[in-house]
Structures are given as structure tokens and as C-alpha cells.
Structure 1
């Protein structure tokens, strides 16, 4: 699965540039993020309904369908649609892993078990995947790079797929909460997509009534989702009773802030490194994905440390400091020209944040700032060509035109990093609202509660066995 992701990261900028729609990377990321948001609760219910082996096989099939659409797409719309299946499969795979980890009863061991599989495979698959992707670009094409996984994935998981009987459509729809899911994805899509698409062709898109109407309808649809999910849904997507605990609310808020800070900076980082940093596709993807390697290694260290320290708040504070530091350092690093940008790889690894769930701010800034800067250097027609493809201005490094393109990318990416560090500063406020959880004491409390329930069950059974028997009826 990781090899599929890392090779795909190499191909993505070139696939969108093939259709003269490189700026749609942010739009595609928003659509994929919306699919992730909605699919997590749905896929957890599917895993309970169909079983875990079938869910692993289903994840592989969904990713294979997505890669098939990537390989055979004739326009950017089909390419973005393939991303929906790909993300759905990847999310399904991840949620099953989390469900398996949640079965571990001892809290102090969950951190280690949760990160161990990913940590062991992160570095080999990162380098293997990016080198494989780069060689596919050099010796074949991005279409074959995607297409090979359409065959590999189903075959590799074929042993886990067993035939089963699907229940009635109404029952499945009720159990999965499909009405709420449709309202949620519709509300978020109509609210967030216009913010990113505005500026794709021109920065005056907000003057069009359709953009404003979509946002208004999107907000109303999202409100309808909250009403439906909170009052009418028999199986709500949001477990309202479970999120009333203070730490749960604060944790959700911190995930939103981290996702926003990450989404402002990272979607076009690979393109920035290739254009302004003069990196090869594979090297740029390795730098971009250094965060994921750092996440896995850092999570493994944190899991081991939590097992020994058994207190959560010190590690949360350390994570907040690293995130703010990693968001702030690129403000300086993106202002360095030429190969000195290689220093960024050493610092971006400290940024261990969650996978972005929304790229709205990034797309809005990128699609507004970069076109204006390119147009000021090259004119509207030539600037539009450069904006639509990272290979449209393949001039030799050091020439006046290439330096102008590099400067436009530098200034735009620096604007994004400033926004990222401003958002990440909110984590300092959130940190003071988190209550420290002593994992050892919590495990002892749960064990004592389990012992009480077991003792009650044994006593109840003994009382039933000692009850007098009515001879006529045979009842106790």
C-alpha cells in the first residue's frame, strides 16, 4: 500500500500538467479530503458488517479501480474521479488497522502497536517507491506507473476476499448512515470547492453569482446534516454522546488546527521543489514525504516513551513545539535560491502532523497569488501557460526567464508558510485545555472495573444455580 502511495506522489504533478491543469492539485486534494472525512465512520461500520478480511480485500479493489482510472483517463475530471476511489481504498485500509489496534486492552501498549507496522515499512517504501516512480517517468510514462498497480493490488489481496451475501439495501443504508453522509459531503464540497476554484482562470471569480450561491447552499446543507445526524439518524455519523468529554473535544480541535496548518503549506511543495529548487521528481517526492517518515519514527519513539513515562501532556507539548517550529522554518528556507533549498529536507522531518483533511486555503492563495506574479513577469498568455504546467517553462537553470519563474514560486510558497505558522500558533492555546492522562492509573482503573463486573457475573450465575426448582414446571 505504501509503495502505491509513494509512486503516485511522483506521478501526480505530471499527470495534472498533462491536462494543463496543474493548479487543480489543491482542488483534487479537497475532494479527496472530503471523501476521507465521510468515509471513516462509514468504513468502520462496513468493517463491522462484512468482516475485517473482506474489508482488506475491498480496500485493495477500490485502490485498483482508482489506479485504473488514473492510467486510462482522457481528461482531468476522470483523473480526479479516480482519486476518490484511491482515497476510499487507502482510508479503508487505515481504518481496519486502527480497529485491530483498538482491540488491545492495555493503553500503554497501544502507542507502540499502532505505529510499529508503518514505522518498519516507512523508510524502505519511501525510497523504493520514489525511485520506482522516477524511473517509470524516465523510461515509460505516468500512465503505466499507475496502471501496474491496477493488476498488482487485486492479486496481492485475492486470498482475503471471500464471497458473502449482502443484506437488504434499506438495512445497509440505515446502518451506514448514507443520508447523513451525503448531506455532509455535499455541504462541505459546496462550501470549500468554490474557495479553491476561484482564481483558477481569473481572480475575479468571486463576482460570479454561482460561487456565492454554492457557498450559501453548502452552509445550509451542512446545517441540515447536523440536524439530521443529531435528531433523526438511527446510526449517527458523529457519536455525540462520546465527544462530550473535554479531552476528546480538545483533541478534535487540535486535529483541525494541525490539518489546516499542514494543508496551507504542503499541497504544492513537490512542485515548488522541482521548479524553484531544481529537484528531480523522485528527490522532490522524498523531501515532501520526509514528514511521513518522521511521523512514523517519532510515533514509535513516543509510543515507547509513553509506556515508560505513562503521562501524555509532556509529549503533547513537545509535539506542539515541533509543529510550530517546522511551520516557521520554511519562511526562511523558501527565501533561499538554488540548491541551498536542500537544507529544507533536514527541517521538514520535524513536522509530524496529521494527514490534511482540507486544502482550501492553500488552493485559494496559490490560485490567486502565483498567477498575478507570473503575469507581471511574462504577460497574461505566457504566464497562464506556466501556471498550468510545471514543465511549461523548462528553461535551463540560471537564465533570466528561469530565475523569474523561480522567484514567483519562492514568493508564493513563502506566503503559504506564513499562513501555516499563524494557524499552528493556535495549538499553544489548545495545549492548556488538555488534561493530563496517566495511562498507568487509567489501566488500573479499567482493570478494577473489569474485575468488579466479572465478580458480579459470577455471583449472579451462582445465585441462579442455587435458586429452588419448581417440580411441576421445572423452572427455578
Structure 2
């Protein structure tokens, strides 16, 4: 999720960042990474600054393009971005609503959270090599690559015949989905002043306000009509069509900049094998494989141990834990002593503001996925809501945070600071919302209290997501924007994978045990099918002893999840506390025509 921005109407002139030097009272450390670049002046005349010759090719290309952008093309690009986010948000909402039914169709409902572990991990980790791709080759190239992954994932989900194929499809889908939204975020960072960037992110994410009302009914229509497969297939066709106009704008303005001689000429003079070696070093392929395999092997046992007859003593579980741990150690040692180019830029990561923002991103996603993974099923089983109503409540977070992000963006633009918003408002309100759910997310509790908690989390979480993104961007210059946002996203996705793992471990450890304890004697023979399938759970009428037993087991599992999600928020408070109080109002990062 991203956050706030002022709407751009075709008749409005984009707000332009004036040339203001950093305040005299700012410390050198606060300003150490802010580039002294220039932008379009208030009357629309472009500065004479040349493209940064010391930057990588992708950064040079986008700086050249922003110098050739017309105001109408810039506005058209943002309008196109809005529609891309609209389709992607609708697609993501529909996919989330369909997932429990896909896993249940293969009698593997308990793997609902597990299917997202690998996709969350790889989707986030891949943003680091993607940052290299868009910095070395260019933003459009990265965008096209991620679009292809997204479409492949949707096609695989539409054609899947087992939960394993669906899980693999989720990897392609989330790598592509996260990659598309990430490259667009970088484009927004390339074309907006730092003080207005939070508002631009809010504008881009504003389609969630509309799509929350569409995803549930759309998923219901597909399930009751042509089936869940068409729910994926339709978007595999629509998404490339919607993305085409932005690709055309990229291509047109790149050619325009090239003809104007703004793009430096480059000749590598490398042979094929030299190029392979060069890019393997640039993308740190060895480091990428080590951390991906290590995290996957270490986290997956928490999701599959309950399916082993020997549970934690099963050889496959023990091997995964040991080898995963060893690979993570090997990754750290390789990056420290052997890597020609490090996978994670330590000089940036060790900045306390960047590191604090990354830890906050990871922690928020850990907490979120712990309490969210089985929430959709809970609403249907315990509160007896349909898919549409459940999706509305599930998406309270999305709609609330997107509305609130405009307020946060305006506050950042007005005050020029973001730390106070996160520390004194975002973290406390988030803790309040998650903590209250420990009491209210139980059987026989009015659904209104659950919605109230979701609103608290939406307002607090929406504030923190924007502030963490502003923190990593304010702590560096334009050259490293893509990298720091990728590192922040990697922490978030790894956090999501950890959160899903913890949720699955709690679920598989608590829910079947409580189910066996609460089920009446006549239903004990159906325990396995009840545990494995959401439709089977819903097949028992509300008010019957079996349905009440299922609801009670849900309540006990949810309570443990929510306690864990609340306690871990203490880390969020510490992560924000260490930020520097950077004033973004006076910082200048980007060149050319910007908003």
C-alpha cells in the first residue's frame, strides 16, 4: 500500500519544486545524502542541469526523459498510472477473495497462508535485482519484465490442477504484481518533488477506495458463474491492455530525449561471457540465491510440520531448518567477505533512518499477516457473512488507509516532517487497533466492534506506511532511490512471509486441537474434512453444535494470533524512535519536469 496526494486535473498546472537550499540549521548528517539537483522552475522553464554522468544508465535515461516531458504527457502518465492501479487493485482484491476457495477445492484450506510464504519472500527479495535492472537497463524494461511475470502467474492460476501449481503461480503473480507497482513507485519518485511525494503515492493508491467494493462481488460472480479460473483468466487479458499507454509514453519520451542528445552514449565493448559475468556480479546472483533459499527453507517447516506424522521430529522438517539456517549464515559471510558487489548496500542500510524504516516495514507486515491470514475465513464461519460482506470488512484497512493517506501527505507537505506523525500517532493507534481485536474478534461479539478495530489499524497503518517510505527516500539521493525502496520492500515482503509462517504455525497448532476438543461426538469422524475445507465448515448450519464448535476453535486460534501480533508492535515503536527528524520540505532530489 502507498499513500496521499493532491488530484491532478487536466486544467491544473503541476506544482513545481522551487530551488530552495536546505535550512541552515539542518545538520550535515541530515543533508548528507540529498543531491543538489534542480527542477523545472515555477514558470515552466527547465533548468540547464545536465543528466548526471556518474549515475547508472537507467537513472540517466529517466533524468533525460523528465527533461523532455511535456506537462500534458506528465499528467497523462499519472492518469494512466491511476488506471493501472485500479485494475491491479481490483485484481488483487478478487484474487485474495478466491484463494480460500482455490485451496479448499484441493482440500487444503489450511494451506491458505502457506501459499503466500514463498510468494511473499521471493516477491520482496526480487525487488533488489529489479532495482538493479531498472537502474542499469531502464524503468520501461523492468516494467515489461514484471508485467510478463504477472500475466504468467494469472495464467498458471487459471489452469492449476493442484495446490502446488497454485502456490507456484502465486510466486509468479506476486513477483509480477509487486514488481509492476514498484516500478511505478520509482517513476513517481522520479517525477515528483520530495515534499509532494507522499501526496503522489496517495493519488496512485486511491483506486483502492473504489475497488474494495468491487473485489468481493466480482469474486462471488465468478464462483457462482464460470468458476474461479475465469477470475484469473480475465485479468490476464485486461492487465497488459491497461498497461500499454504508459509503455508508449516511456518509449516516446525516451526517443525524444535520445534525439535531443540528452542521453549519454554508452559502449560496453564486452564479449557475451564478459557480459554474463558483469551482470552476475551486478545482480549479486550468488547472494540472491543464498538468501532466497535460506529464508524459504527456514520458514517453510513452520507451515508443513503438522502434515508430517512425526511433526517437528520429521527428517524433512529438521533438514529444512538446519540447511535454511546454514544458508542464511553463508549469505551473511558471503556478503561480508566475498561478494564483489553486495546484495544489500550496507552503507545505506546502516543509516539509522533507513534501517529503522526497513525494520518498521518488516514488523508491520509480520503483525499484519499474523492477524489477517485467516480473517476472511473467520468472518464467513464465525460471523456468518457472505463473500461480498466479508471482503468489505477485509478491505476496511485498504479504503481507510488510502483515505487517510491524503491527510498524512498534506500534513507532511505542510510541516515538512514525517517522524512526529509516525511516532506520536501512527504507532500508538496501530497498537490500539490490533490490541482491541484480542477481545473483540471472538464468537458472539458484534461485528461493529471488529470494524472499529479495522478503522484504527487503517488510520495508524496508513500513516506508518507513508512515513516509512518517506524516511528511506529522504535519507538518500536520486541515484539510490530505487535501491532503498527495494530494500524497504524486501523487509516488508520477508516480514509478510514470516507473518504468514507464524499464522500458519499457530493455526495448525491450535485450530485442529481445539476442533477435536469442541466437536460433538457425532462430528468427530469429519474432523479432517472440516479442518481442510472452508465450504465443509460453512455447510453446517449456524446454531448447530458442530458450527458452534468450529466457531469456538476459530476464536481460540485467533486470540493467540492477535496476542502475538500486538506484542510484536513494540518493535515498531523502537524502529521509529531512532529516525532522524529530517525536514523534507527543502530537499531537492530530481531533475526536469516534476510535480
- TM-score bracket, normalised by the shorter chain, equals 0.7 to 0.9
Structure 2 counterpart of 1:387: 531
CA contact under 8 A between 1:26 and 1:362: conserved in structure 2? yes
RCO higher in structure (CA 8 A, sep ≥6): 2
Structure 1 counterpart of 2:401: 295
How far, CA to CA, are the matches of 1:253 and 1:107 in structure 2? Answer: 22
Residue 254 of structure 1 and its aligned partner are, at CA, apart by 1.8
> Matched residue pairs, number?
440
Structure 2 counterpart of 1:31: 118
Match of 2:150 among 33, 47, 63: 63
**Distance change (3 Å), C-alpha of 1:59 and 1:429:** closer
CA contact under 8 A between 2:209 and 2:398: conserved in structure 1? no
Please give the residue correspondences for 1:250-289 in structure 2 after superposition, counting only pairs within 5 Å.
250-289=356-395
CA contact under 8 A between 2:195 and 2:412: conserved in structure 1? yes
CA contact under 8 A between 1:188 and 1:222: conserved in structure 2? yes
Structure 2 counterpart of 1:241: 347
Please give the residue correspondences for 1:80-229 in structure 2 after superposition, counting only pairs within 5 Å.
80-104=167-191, 106-119=193-206, 121-158=207-244, 160=247, 168-200=275-307, 204-229=310-335
Residue 391 of structure 1 and its aligned partner are, at CA, apart by 0.8
How far, CA to CA, are the matches of 1:386 and 1:109 in structure 2? Answer: 51
How far, CA to CA, are the matches of 1:171 and 1:91 in structure 2? Answer: 26
Structure 2 counterpart of 1:416: 561
**Distance change (3 Å), C-alpha of 1:309 and 1:182:** same
1:182-233 deviation per Cα after TM superposition (whole angstroms, max 9, x unaligned): 111100011111022222456x510213212211111110111122223333
How far, CA to CA, are the matches of 1:298 and 1:122 in structure 2? Answer: 12
How far, CA to CA, are the matches of 2:240 and 2:557 in structure 1? Answer: 41
Which of 21-30 and 172-181 deviates more? 172-181
Provide the TM-score with structure 1 as the length reference.
0.86
Residue 236 of structure 1 and its aligned partner are, at CA, apart by 2.2
- The secondary structure found in structure 2 opposite 1:4 is helix
Structure 1 counterpart of 2:267: none
Residue 52 of structure 1 and its aligned partner are, at CA, apart by 2.2
Which structure's CA Rg is the greater one? 1
CA contact under 8 A between 1:322 and 1:351: conserved in structure 2? yes
Structure 2 counterpart of 1:405: 550
Any unmatched runs of 5+ in structure 1?
A: 451-476
Any unmatched runs of 5+ in structure 2?
A: 1-87, 252-270, 466-491
CA contact under 8 A between 1:61 and 1:153: conserved in structure 2? no
CA contact under 8 A between 2:195 and 2:416: conserved in structure 1? yes
CA contact under 8 A between 1:310 and 1:439: conserved in structure 2? yes
Residue 171 of structure 1 and its aligned partner are, at CA, apart by 3.6
Structure 2 counterpart of 1:373: 514
Residue 129 of structure 1 and its aligned partner are, at CA, apart by 2.4
**Distance change (3 Å), C-alpha of 1:149 and 1:433:** same
Structure 2 counterpart of 1:436: 581
Question: What RMSD over aligned residues (CA atoms) do the two structures have, in Å?
Answer: 2.3
**Distance change (3 Å), C-alpha of 1:154 and 1:312:** closer
How far, CA to CA, are the matches of 2:279 and 2:91 in structure 1? Answer: 30
Match of 2:503 among 362, 381, 400: 362
**Distance change (3 Å), C-alpha of 1:118 and 1:401:** same
Provide the TM-score with structure 2 as the length reference.
0.70
1:369-426 deviation per Cα after TM superposition (whole angstroms, max 9, x unaligned): 0010112233764221111111113111112211111111112112111111111133
